[in-house]
Amino acid sequence: MKLHPLVVALALAAAAPLALAAPRGFEVRDLAALDRHSSPTLSPNGRLLVFAKRVADLEANKSSTSLYIEDLMARDSAPPKRLTPDGWNVNSPAFSPDGRTVYFLSAKSGSQQLYAIPAAGGTPRQLTDLPADVGSYEVSPDGTRVALGAEAFVDCASDLACTKKRLDERAADKASGKVFDRMFIRHWDAWNDGRLNRVFVAELGSAPVKSATLVGGDVIGDVPSRPFGDASEYEWSPDGTSLVLAARKADRSEPWSTNFDLYLVQADGKGAARNLTASNPAWDTGPAFSADGKTLYYRAMKRPGFEADRLALMEMNLATGATREIAPRWDASADGITLSADGKSIYTSAQELGRHPLFAVDIATGEVTSILKDGSVSAFDLKGPTLVASVNSMKSGDQIFATSPDGKAPLRAITPSASEMLPDVRFGEYEQFRFAGWNGETVHGYVVKPWNYEAGKKYPVAFLIHGGPQGSFGDGWSYRWNPQTYAGQGYAVVMIDFHGSTGYGQKFTDAISGHWGDRPLEDLQKGWAAAQQKYPFLDGANACALGASYGGYMVNWIAGNWHTPKSGAWKCLVNHDGVFDQRMMGYATEELWFTEWENGGTPYDVPKNYEKFNPVNHVDQWRVPMLVIHGQQDFRIPVEQGIAAFTALQRRGIESKFLYFPDENHWVLKPRNSVQWHDTVNGWLKQHLSK
């Protein structure tokens, strides 16, 4: 059996610490302090690689990011060199069309603006000095102009100075109240102040640009989208005369709509926008032009209102408007579109059976070829003879590799693995397993051994339940829910990709909608039983269940529906940002399309659907000690859901704790807060699990 080069590279990287007989397991302070490598970006000829390196300062509770550069074709094996100056915090690297300049964003001037630095090294030069922060950018094909994403008020968006003036006036106003007449009133972790993300075009010259031209002024919506959109949602045409924007209308229906359309707009800001995908009422995004500008490639969903629908690869003839799905038989959801040098293939990553590989899709035939099969590809770039990719696994955060476009050349590691950065740490070995779950269908899961595993011994278990619910706990690295932090404490870890998880086909993902409390619970119960049967080192009577978001909901549901001796009792539970009351969630969350799709309508139209699997209705059955965690800035699942769960526990006299973060959203992002989160969770497990 011939091993794939990526398997060999990751195995070699992991072997070094084992050879040193590592004396300890992985800890949260290791997780928080690890350098992070991201944004692999190639020069047009594929020779130069620029990437970002983030360094954390735990004492200061902050981090900084710099750019590094590597000549991939240099004969020496010198390590990458730092490109941006010390003291700068930067992001979003990109090369100029001639490969001589590297662009990036930085707030060095006091607001985030666009900068340039010679690829050969030198002093950064500020390119924009706009009255608003630049959130994203895309340089024109000829390098003379740049499309910029910035927040602006709709009624004065053509003049960014107008937006700044209005913000200054608001700051000076001693009255703090604000009247809303439509939703969104808040989204993710920010209140709506009336501004939208808009796209502007500016000329690049020797002096910093102080003004820019609004394009697509009649497209009233956030471009990029909130809260996680980026520059992939707008694209220059090859001739530089126009752009395509992906946008959803910012009107009263926005909170329950997933209808993003692609709009063709003129780069000079003139004329009316043309809706290219008006015939599809579902999500259209990720535009990419063919080299001749005649064809537009993009990704599209088919079902309106469903955010976890499959994103298919699409092709549009811009002259006729005719569209075609490129790979209709490929049951995967494409992450993005990168064209091969000859324009005949689309490179994209997608989830597959607990991994996140890289694929090449033949545009003419729809044939799909695996390029990088193992672990999880989080980002990649393809230029000339070079493919670079950031790959992570359950044993390492993103490590940047270089190879050939077909992935067959030996992989060259550009950045270190977690094992190389932590030579005294031994990571827990892991294995994927499968079992018959709901409806007799195959369900997958992972088991992770404790770092100090010895054959013949039994170990307490952390049973992790992923969120989404259309998500996955697979062969990847997380800075929030990382199984190695539990393995490093001497626990075994079990994770089940229950029905509703992504990467196993759209039918499998669809199975959870309307069935939050039955099908996935059956999978979790059967998976837990199967894991104990297959892995005798799991101490089934000495286990705690933990989850966040939907996983937190499931913890609340388990508390009232999975505690009998026959099904296995839990020693403790951990509920992070979990749904406690489905009915109230339907009114209080911001993205209404989610709760309405999952429950088949609104709380007032189908109230029985919201009550069918509602944890609040089973509090009388709660018995197991629970740790509840919630952030004040979580507007997806508002903090009152966590407070209510804690109130229920306290009122029933059940042992419980409530960890509250006034400055965190649905995720815990600040380094010191992350450490506190893990210390509190680990303390809870230690309190209830025996070793």
- Dist CA 230 CA 238 (whole Å): 20
| Confidence (pLDDT) at 18 | 42
Helix (H) or strand (E) holding 679: helix 671-688
Instruction: Give me the mean pLDDT over the 73-102 stretch.
Output: 93
For tokens 């024109």, what's the residue?
140
DSSP state of 425: B
Short-list 646, 585, 614, CA closest to 518? 614
> Which amino acid, 521?
L
Residue 172 has pLDDT above 80, yes or no: yes
Residue 97, pLDDT > 90, answer yes
d(CA 327, CA 470): 22
Calpha distance 417→375 (Å, rounded): 13
Cβ atoms of 497 and 354 within 8 Å: the answer is yes
Which pLDDT score, from 0 to 100, does residue 77 have?
A: 73
Identify which of 75-84, 152-161, 620-629 has the greatest average pLDDT. Answer: 620-629
Q: Which of 39, 24, 55 is nearest to 105 (CA)?
A: 39
Q: Which domains does the chain have, with CATH numbers?
A: 430-688 (3.40.50.1820)
Structure tokens at 544: 């705690």
pLDDT in tens, 463-495: 999 999 999 999 999 999 999 999 999 999 999
Other Cβ atoms closer than 10 A to 365? 10
What pLDDT shows up at residue 564? 53
**In this structure, what token pair is assigned to residue 586?**
């339907």
Instruction: Inform me whether the pLDDT recorded for 13 exceeds 70.
Output: no
| Averaged pLDDT for residues 384-395 | 97
Whole-number pLDDT of residue 279 = 98
Residue 4 is predicted with a pLDDT of 43
Give the model's confidence band at 22: pLDDT under 50 very low, under 70 low, under 90 confident, else very high.
Answer: very low
Q: Output the six-digit token pair for 603.
A: 């709380």
Name residues whose C-beta falls within 8 Å of residue 349's C-beta, 6 or more positions apart in sequence: 334, 335, 336, 356, 357, 358, 359, 377, 378, 380
The residue that leads in pLDDT, 56 or 327, is 327
CA distance 344 to 311: 20
In this prediction the pTM is 0.94
Dihedral (CA of 682, 686, 687, 688) sign: positive
User: What mean pLDDT comes out for the span 191-213?
Assistant: 96
Q: Is the pLDDT of residue 247 over 90?
A: yes
Strand 492-497, strand 459-465: pairing: parallel
Residue in 393, 394, 505 with CA at minimum distance from that of residue 442: 505
Report whether pLDDT(616) > 80. Answer: yes
- pLDDT, mean of residues 539-560: 97
- In this predicted structure, the answer to whether residue 602 has a pLDDT above a threshold of 80 is yes
Does 426 have pLDDT greater than 80? yes
pLDDT value at 3 more than 90: no
Q: How far, in Å, are 190, 330, 533, 629, 666 from residue 643 at the CA level?
A: 20, 44, 37, 9, 15
pLDDT range class, residue 280, cuts 50, 70, 90: very high
Section 575-602 average pLDDT: 98
pLDDT at 9: 47
Phi, psi of 2 (to 5 degrees): -95, 125
Q: What is the pLDDT of residue 568?
A: 54
| CA distance to 39, 345, 546, per residue, from 405 (Å) | 18, 11, 40
Query: Per-residue confidence at 58, pLDDT binned at 50, 70, 90?
Result: confident
Taken in order 412, 416, 419, 420, the sign of the CA dihedral is: positive
Distance (Å, rounded) from C-alpha 267 to C-alpha 74?
A: 39
Q: Mean pLDDT for the chain?
A: 95
For the chain, give the percent of residues with pLDDT over 70. 96
Q: Looking at residue 20, what is its pLDDT?
A: 47
**Residue among 151, 147, 111, 103 nearest 129 (CA):** 111
Joined tokens for residue 458 = 């039994």
pLDDT at residue number 531: 97
**What span, in angstroms and rounded, lies between the C-alpha atoms of 218 and 199?**
12
3-state secondary structure of 175: coil
The mean per-residue pLDDT over the stretch 592-609 comes to 98
